[in-house]
Amino acid sequence: MSPRDLLLAFVVILVWGVNFVVIKIGLHGIPPMLLGALRFMLAAVPAVFFVKRPAIATRWLIAYGATISLGQFAFLFYAMAVGMPAGLASVVLQAQAFFTVGLSALFLHERFRAHNAAGLIVAACGLALIGEQGGDAMTLAGFCLTLCAALMWALGNIVTKKAGKADMLGLVVWGSLVPPLPFLAFSWFFEGPDRIHAAFTSIGASSVFAVLYLSFGATLVGYGLWARLMSRYPAAQVAPFSLLVPVLGLASAALLLDEVLTLPQITGAALVMAGLLINAFGARWRTKAA
């Protein structure tokens, strides 16, 4: 990988790692469902007029938007609104890797290998430790909703595989047309017109920054650069960089939000990361050992 592209990879990881802190900041002034609506409205428009529609069937485009965009972030935003710390959210959300492996075996008939099982067991122990030792900083509802977000992300990964090869940036931009109306409906029903009106009339600079960051930074810039790297290099060379997202998520939450983890939570996060490493590199390690 060239030095320039290596730098771009770290830019993406930085943008996505800090993303969880920005969500927490945005939720201080905007209710979660309204925040989701604003994020994807700005991610879709005006980009949809400049980015070519991906060459996939409409049903897959809608399914992608309904899972990775609507489902994942409806659960994640609400989880963080009801007590999921930003740093731990970045770690627990990585359970999507194991949900993806299981769903791929179920729906795509891909083999579930020994290193996948080993990584799953290690990460599951870590998640159980995090869930059990939530303490005052994390609620059980927030933890469970984050796991639901991870499941929706995994379902979106299966949709992407079933849809076939597609331009990632186009898929993200056109898929962003799906969530705004459902998010607005959820906001009207769960949050009510009074909260929506109050959010707009008292919106502050930090809330505006959060919406712009989530729309253009985390969504368009992040996925745009990621798609560029995936098109230039083998997936096995690019994908491991995503393992740094929860590391930066924890670091940025500690630095910017003063989040402090207990020893059991740190241990649980370390086990999740170890499980991810086994899942990502287990086959390569077995081959070298053999």
- φ, ψ for residue 193, nearest 5 deg: -60, -30
Does any domain span residue 36? yes
Does any domain span residue 240? yes
Confidence bin at 72 (pLDDT 50/70/90) = very high
Task: Return the structure tokens found at 144.
Answer: 């469970």
Does any domain span residue 200? yes
Question: According to the model, what pLDDT value does residue 111 have?
Answer: 80
Confidence bin at 133 (pLDDT 50/70/90) = low
Does any domain span residue 73? yes
Does any domain span residue 191? yes
Closest CA to 75 of 4, 147, 1: 147
The least confident of 48-57, 86-95, 258-267 is 258-267
Q: Structural domain tally of the chain?
A: 1
Does any domain span residue 125? no
Provide the 10 A C-beta neighbour count for residue 19.
24
Residues of the domain holding 27: 3-93+138-251
Query: Residue 22 and residue 51: Cα distance in Å, rounded?
Result: 26
Provide the 10 A C-beta neighbour count for residue 167.
17
